[in-house]
Amino acid sequence: MGMEGGTMNITVKLFATFRFGRFAAATRQYPPSTQIGEVISELQIPESQVSMIMLNGRHANPDQRLNDGDSLALFPLVAGG
């Protein structure tokens, strides 16, 4: 892993409905100091639809900054019945 070209490699994992028209897991490149919320926006996911954010296996917030090699998981709201 490295910052070659001034980018970070981030593994992004999407769950349930977030996968539709996107992907289940992918390594994507982002500029240094990218915040989680910027990744959510770039994926065209409304932040209000995100129920849980996990960064390297720990709960995270949209304003947290990412580091090269991080693993980000996004979970949608789940409708109950």
Question: In this structure, which topology does domain 4-73 adopt according to CATH?
Answer: Ubiquitin-like (UB roll) (3.10.20)
pTM of the model: 0.89
**Any idea where the domains of the chain sit in the sequence?**
4-73
The pair of structure tokens assigned to 56 is: 């390297």
Residue 41 CA to residue 21 CA, distance in Å, equals 15
Task: Output the CA–CA distances (angstroms, integers) from residue 23 to 1, 13, 49, 80, in the order listed.
Answer: 22, 8, 17, 24
pLDDT, averaged across the chain: 93
Which of 29, 25, 22 lies closest to 8, judged by CA?
A: 29
CA distance 69 to 76: 23
Reported as a single tens digit per residue, the pLDDT across 56-80 is 999 999 999 999 999 999 999 986 6
Averaged pLDDT for residues 35-50: 97
